[in-house]
Amino acid sequence: MANKVSCIFLAAAPGITQLLHHFQKRYAFHKSAVDRLIQSVTSRRTPRSVYDPIRYVMSGGGKRLRAVLTILACEALGGRARSALNAAVAIELLHNFTLVHDDVMDHARLRRNKKTVHERWDTNTAILAGDEMIALAYAVLQRPAGRTPPQVLAVFTRAFVEVCEGQGFDKEFESRGNVSVREYSAMIRQKTARVISAAAEIGALAANAGPRERKALRSYGEHIGMAFQMNDDLLDIIGDQRAFGKAIGGDIAEGKKTLLLLRAIERAGARDRQFLRSLRPGARIPRKMVDRVRRLYITTGAVDEVRRNIASMTRAAQRALSGIPAGRGKAMLSWLADELVERSA
C-alpha cells in the first residue's frame, strides 16, 4: 500500500511518512467536525427517554467511517468539506440506527465496549431511539432547508431500504441450513456495502460530480463495503475482544452464515462438517467450541480464502478510483481502502 501511494504521489508529496501523517490528521479533522455536528443535533432535545439513549450511542466513539468517507469523497472531487457535512452526519445516524435495532435482533450485549441500548435500558427504548435516529437523519439530510439535491435523498433512501432488506436476509439465513456463497454476497452487499457506497456517492453528489465520477465513487464504496464486512466476519472469530468492542464468536452464537462458515463446511471432513452444521443460533457457545470453530476456519483454508477475497475487493475499489481525477483527495481514498482492511476494530 505504501508503494501504491508513493507511486501516485512521487512528485507531489514530500515523503510517504509525511503523507500518511497528513491523511491521519485530515481524517481526525473531519471526524471531529462530524462529532461536533452530531453533538449539536442531538443535544438538549426531549423526551429524555428517547434522546438520552441517542446521545449515549452517538457519543460512544466509533470511527465515523461512513461520515468521513462522505466528506472525503466530496473533497476528492473538488467539493468543500462543508457541503457534505450534513449528509455525512445523516449517513452516520442511519448507520447507528441499524446498529441499535440489529443489536436488539441479534441479542448483542456489547457494542464499542459499552452495553448496547437494549441492555442498558430495554428493548422498547432501543426501538424508539432507533426510530428517532432515522427520523433525525432525514431532518439533518435536508439541511440547509430546500437545498438538498433530490438525488441525495434518493441514494440515501435506497440505502435505507436495502440495509433493512439485507438485515432481513441475514436473519433468515440464521435459521436456514443451506445458504450459498452467492446469497451471502448479495446479503452483505445490501446489509453493509450499500450504506458505505451511498456515503461515497452522496459525497460525490455534494461536489456536483458528473455521472462518471458518481459511478466511480459508488463502485469504490461498494467494494470497500464488501471488504469491510468480510473483515468484520474475520474479526468476529480471530479478533481481540477489547479492540473489536464486541463479544468474540458472536456470529457463531447467532448462527450467522458467514463466508468463513460456508467455506469451512464445504471443505471440512465429515465429522467436522457435522459439527459446523450443528451450530445453532441462540445456543450459548462455550469458549472451547469457539476455539474449535476458529481452528477449522484456519485449517480448511476458509480464513485464507476470505483474506484473498478482501484483498481482491480492495483492489477493485482502487481500480474504481481510476474514474476520478488524480490528486491528494484521490490518494486519500486509496489510503482509506487499505486502512479499512488492516483495522483490528
Choose one: 80-88, 162-170, 250-258, 263-271; the region binding a second copy (CB under 8 A). Answer: 162-170
Q: Give the nearer residue to a second copy in terms of CB position, either 129 or 224.
A: 129
Q: Give the nearer residue to a second copy in terms of CB position, either 196 or 235.
A: 196
Told to check if 116 binds a second copy by CB under 8 A, we report no
Q: Give the nearer residue to a second copy in terms of CB position, either 24 or 123.
A: 123
d(CA 307, CA 294): 14
CB 84 within 8 A of CB 73: yes
Told to check if 50 binds a second copy by CB under 8 A, we report yes
Cβ count near 289 (within 10 Å): 17
Told to check if 145 binds a second copy by CB under 8 A, we report yes
Told to check if 211 binds a second copy by CB under 8 A, we report no
- Binder among 128, 302, 317, 324 for a second copy (CB under 8 A): 128
Cβ count near 106 (within 10 Å): 21
Q: Give the nearer residue to a second copy in terms of CB position, either 131 or 305.
A: 131
Told to check if 32 binds a second copy by CB under 8 A, we report no
Choose one: 17-25, 128-136, 202-210, 276-284; the region binding a second copy (CB under 8 A). Answer: 128-136
d(CA 8, CA 324): 13
CB 326 within 8 A of CB 7: no
Subset of residues 274 to 333 that bind a second copy, contact rule: CB under 8 A: none
Told to check if 130 binds a second copy by CB under 8 A, we report yes
- Binder among 42, 70, 86, 167 for a second copy (CB under 8 A): 167
Per-residue b or e along 314-339, where b marks 16 or more CB atoms closer than 10 Å to that residue's CB: bebbbebbebbeeebbbbbbbbbbbb
d(CA 211, CA 189): 21
For residue 96, the surrounding DSSP H or E stretch is: helix 81-105
CB 44 within 8 A of CB 50: no
> 2 — phi, psi (to 5°)?
-55, -40
C-alpha grid cell, residue 51? 434522546
C-alpha grid cell, residue 163? 440495509
- Binder among 119, 131, 305, 338 for a second copy (CB under 8 A): 131
Residue with cell 485464507: 304
Count Cβ atoms within 10 A of the Cβ of residue 10 and give its class: 0-12 exposed, 13-18 middle, 19 or more buried: exposed
Told to check if 204 binds a second copy by CB under 8 A, we report no
Choose one: 16-24, 168-176, 191-199, 208-216; the region binding a second copy (CB under 8 A). Answer: 168-176
Q: Give the nearer residue to a second copy in terms of CB position, either 70 or 167.
A: 167
CB of 273: closest distance to a second copy in angstroms?
Answer: 27
Number of residues near a second copy (by CB under 8 A): 41
Subset of residues 172 to 201 that bind a second copy, contact rule: CB under 8 A: 172
C-alpha grid cell, residue 227? 471488504
Residues in contact with a second copy by the rule CB under 8 A: 45-50, 101, 104-105, 123-124, 127-128, 130-132, 134-136, 138-139, 142, 145-148, 150-151, 153-154, 157-158, 160-161, 164-165, 167-169, 171-172
